[in-house]
Amino acid sequence: MRAVRSTINTAGMLKRKDQDGDEAAIVLKALIDINLPKFLKQDIPLFNNIISDLFPSTNQPNYSLGGLEESITIVLEENNWFISKEF
């Protein structure tokens, strides 16, 4: 029940930010935000397939990390750490 409550709380927060937004898109974003970080890399395609079955006519939201990805790359290169482009 905690996962359902977290999803509802997140959807409510997103709805308050975008009151005119499409509710299906808001619920989809909430489900992705709550669940995706918990999955292993190999489970993500299955999750995406389930999401596309549940929301066939709703486009998945685009995420922007701003300058975070670029900053991480710079720090990794400065410290001579391996950078994998498999994201």
Task: Please write the tens of the pLDDT for every residue from 48-72.
Answer: 999 999 999 988 887 777 889 889 8
> Can you read off the two tokens belonging to residue 64?
């922007």
Gap between the Cα atoms of 69 and 49, Å rounded: 26
- Residue identified by tokens 């001579």 is 80
Q: What's this model's pTM, rounded to 2 decimal places?
A: 0.70
Res 3: pLDDT: 79
pLDDT at 86: 60
Residue type, 45: P
- Residues with Cβ within 8 Å of 47's Cβ and at least 6 positions away in sequence, in order, are 35, 36, 39
Query: Which residue numbers in the chain have pLDDT < 70?
Result: 83-87
Per-residue tokens: 41: 């890399």
Taking the C-alpha atoms of residue 58 and residue 52, their distance in angstroms, rounded to an integer, is 8
